[in-house]
């Protein structure tokens, strides 16, 4: 008698139903869409909906629907009209909105409720953009030298050592002192505060003073750190902004590769990559009236600078205010940032935590300035791409505005709140960009490639055709060669494919061309396992054993061999996944999942089907194998 526990039948039935449920979303194709997202100060409302519909109808562009989905307005339409609609809407809405081509899900809500979702598609299947970014290492070096110069200036000022100048030069920082007797003490202080600098006293008539330079070893470490920091910041930012399965990795000494599947709008992609937002905390020097007078006379205090508040004056223009040039703390010194709603005023804000050094400066400042105003400056840098005479011209638009001027009511240091933001969305966006940080050095787009969705669709079609053709040939071969056990094998193979798709969908895996190759290889491994079982049953029959005994013994003896063969392949897949990157990881993931599902279906499911067919026959003359 063939034996197969009832609980195993129940498990197999549950696996079959769950696999069918979670693989189902992959049958729903995505709609071509144009996504309209509001920038700061704009709204996604019924008026925008009506305006967009009017523009599309006036241009005679057919569309499926225009509706608010999440925080954006989504225009669903046919793929051949997607580019035309985006080109129509972008100039009409550029003042307050970001218009981008996208792909919209058509999966029913009831599937989303149970967590069922389709597999994500990689760049080679879905299309998207590929960028090669060149990091400006010279700017990173100049920025670090500027930091050292400010550090030297502060140390000497705190110790009351007068300086004539502290100047950043191409290869070092020049420091000139007012008194020669202060040179020895100044060298000691700077060495203690910045031990990584190499100090060299000036000689000749230029004395007293010294130069501070960065040693070659430290310089290389700084440049290496700059690249790695940019990679980490880009990865965090793109992940947080919702671009599915991006690839961000270092290439060589000064380049970074960025691939964004599903993004067809290069302007949007560049904005996502290059946009930065940060906060600066500065002392307020005087009132709005003082600032207006300074603007009228042109007499701005040497230690101050004119900024403009988000708040509008009686004339409808932003109110001016004078702020100190010296920054108390900045966004790149933040450890954490979380969007909040202020309990007292009910306005959106950001709760920030500074690092130790910035927290100490904030403590010192607030201790000495209780009752005085402190301003919060919001700075946003957005890369822009314009076409002039048929050529792309890249620039950066910098927006600086004072979002809050508050009176310091008590002493605080590392943790505090910043309010005055316009909306909850703005608070969340600012907190996100503060967490991801500002780029350590600017980057240039050295190379740019766009993979269209039509090419991706062709890749999908060819990949699926190759898998379907090989799978069909295997099914036909098994039925012809192994007869009834060929049918049993085919059932196991079909369930294996269903399970593989379902598991990859549950984990949110990204399917790429290498992933399709991994699936094809999985079919081969599953075929090997079933061939081992069928041939083992044949051997038992040739040895003169009864049909039922041959089936039971064939499954039992083949199970060990199948496990050994698949474990070695599984270890190779794990090694590829751990040490590989990009396409290699995609291949390895589909291979690992496929091996695990094929081991279950070949050994357990196929035995269960064989038991259903032959298990109750006490007198079995032969089997069709």
**What are the tens digits of pLDDT across the range 283-333?**
888 778 888 888 888 888 878 888 888 777 777 788 888 888 888 877 667
Computed from CA positions of residues 267, 268, 274, 279, in that sequence, does the dihedral angle turn out positive or negative? positive
Closest listed residue to residue 615, CA positions, set 533, 623, 494, 493 = 623
Exposure of 245 by Cβ count < 10 A (0-12 exposed, 13-18 middle, 19+ buried)? buried
pLDDT higher than threshold 60 for residue 437: no
Cα distances (Å, whole numbers) of residue 498 to 389, 461, 504, 505: 53, 19, 10, 11
Q: Which residues pair with 329 in a beta bridge?
A: 281
Residue with tokens 């000036």: 202
Computed from CA positions of residues 435, 436, 438, 441, in that sequence, does the dihedral angle turn out positive or negative? positive
Domains identified in the chain and CATH numbers: 6-25+452-614 (1.20.1640.10), 31-104 (3.30.70.260), 138-219 (3.30.1240), 276-441 (3.30.1360.200)
Using the 8-state DSSP alphabet, how is residue 404 labeled? Answer: E
Hey, how many other C-beta atoms are within 10 angstroms of the C-beta on 118? 23
Hey, how many other C-beta atoms are within 10 angstroms of the C-beta on 68? 14
Residue with tokens 């990204």: 510
Contacts of 106 (CB under 8 A, 6+ apart): 28, 29, 30, 31
Average pLDDT over residues 182-211: 81
Q: What are phi and psi of 459, to 5 degrees?
A: -60, -45
Residue with tokens 């960025």: 258
Closest listed residue to residue 289, CA positions, set 320, 310, 318 = 320
pLDDT higher than threshold 60 for residue 486: yes
pLDDT at 155: 81
Cα separation, 3 vs 56, whole angstroms: 66
Closest listed residue to residue 163, CA positions, set 173, 153, 150, 149 = 153
pLDDT at 435: 61
pLDDT at 17: 92
pLDDT at 419: 66
Q: What are phi and psi of 441, to 5 degrees?
A: -155, 150
The answer to whether 478 touches 161, Cβ cutoff 8 Å, is no
pLDDT higher than threshold 80 for residue 550: yes
**pLDDT tens readout for residues 455-485:** 666 777 777 787 788 778 888 888 888 888 8
Computed from CA positions of residues 381, 387, 389, 391, in that sequence, does the dihedral angle turn out positive or negative? positive
Element housing 437 (H / E): none
pLDDT at 251: 83
List the structure tokens of 297: 């006379």
Residue 274 binned pLDDT confidence (cut-offs 50, 70, 90) = low
Computed from CA positions of residues 516, 520, 521, 522, in that sequence, does the dihedral angle turn out positive or negative? positive
Strands (E) across 420-538 are located at 443-451, 510-511
């Amino acid at each position: 008698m063939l034996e197969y526990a009832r609980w195993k039948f129940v498990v197999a039935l549950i696996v079959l139903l769950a696999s069918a449920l979670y693989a189902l979303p992959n049958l729903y194709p995505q709609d071509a869409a144009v996504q309209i997202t509001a920038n700061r100060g704009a709204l996604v409302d019924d008026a925008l909906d009506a305006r967009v519909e009017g523009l599309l109808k006036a241009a005679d562009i057919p569309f499926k629907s225009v509706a608010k989905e999440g925080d954006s307005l989504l225009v669903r339409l046919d793929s051949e009209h997607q580019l035309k609609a985006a080109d129509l809407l972008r100039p009409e809405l550029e003042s307050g909105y970001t218009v981008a081509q996208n792909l919209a899900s058509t999966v029913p809500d009831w599937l989303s409720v149970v967590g069922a979702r389709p597999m994500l598609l990689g760049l080679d299947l879905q299309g998207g953009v590929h960028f090669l970014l060149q990091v400006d290492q010279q700017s990173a070096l100049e920025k670090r030298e500027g930091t050292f110069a400010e550090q030297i200036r502060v140390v000497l000022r705190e110790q009351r050592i007068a300086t004539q100048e502290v100047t950043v030069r191409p290869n070092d920082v020049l420091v000139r002192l007012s008194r020669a007797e202060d040179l020895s003490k100044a060298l000691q202080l700077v060495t203690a505060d910045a031990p990584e600098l190499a100090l060299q006293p000036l000689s000749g008539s230029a004395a007293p003073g010294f130069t501070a330079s960065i040693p070659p070893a430290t310089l290389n470490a700084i440049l290496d750190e700059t690249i790695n920091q940019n990679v980490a910041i880009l990865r965090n930012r793109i992940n947080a902004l919702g671009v599915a399965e991006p690839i961000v990795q270092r290439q060589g000494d000064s380049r970074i590769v960025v691939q964004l599947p599903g993004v067809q709008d290069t302007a949007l992609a560049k904005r996502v990559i290059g946009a930065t937002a940060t906060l600066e905390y500065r002392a307020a020097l005087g009132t709005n009236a003082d600032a207006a007078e300074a603007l009228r006379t042109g007499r701005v205090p040497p230690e101050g600078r004119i900024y403009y508040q988000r708040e509008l004056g009686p004339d409808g223009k932003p109110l001016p205010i004078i702020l100190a040039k010296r920054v108390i703390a900045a966004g790149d010194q933040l450890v954490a940032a979380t969007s909040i709603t202020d309990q007292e005023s009910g306005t959106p804000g950001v709760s920030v935590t500074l690092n130790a050094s910035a927290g100490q400066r904030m403590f010192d400042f607030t201790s000495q300035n209780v009752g005085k105003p402190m301003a919060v400056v919001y700075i946003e840098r957005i890369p822009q791409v314009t076409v002039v005479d048929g050529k792309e011209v890249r620039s950066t638009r910098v927006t600086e505005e004072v979002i809050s001027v508050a009176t310091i009511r008590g002493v605080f240091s590392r943790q505090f709140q910043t309010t005055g933001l316009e909306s909850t969305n703005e608070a969340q966006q600012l907190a996100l960009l503060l967490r991801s940080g500002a780029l350590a050095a600017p980057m240039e787009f050295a190379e740019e490639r766009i993979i269209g969705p039509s090419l991706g669709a062709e890749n999908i079609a060819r990949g699926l055709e190759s898998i379907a053709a090989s799978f069909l040939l295997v099914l036909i071969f098994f039925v012809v060669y192994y007869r009834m056990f060929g049918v049993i094998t085919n059932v196991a193979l079909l369930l294996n494919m269903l399970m593989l798709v379902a598991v990859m969908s549950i984990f949110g895996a990204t399917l790429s061309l290498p992933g399709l190759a991994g699936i094809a290889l999985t079919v081969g491994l599953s075929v090997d396992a079933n061939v081992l079982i069928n041939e083992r049953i044949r051997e038992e029959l040739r040895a003169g054993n009864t049909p039922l005994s041959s089936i039971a013994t064939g499954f039992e003896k083949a199970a060990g061999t199948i496990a050994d063969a698949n474990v070695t392949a599984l270890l190779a897949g794990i090694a590829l996944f751990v040490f590989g990157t990009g396409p290699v990881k995609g291949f390895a993931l589909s291979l690992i999942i496929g091996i695990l599902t094929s081991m279950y279906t070949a050994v357990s499911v196929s035995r269960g089907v064989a038991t259903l067919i032959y298990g109750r026959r006490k007198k079995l003359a032969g089997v069709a194998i």
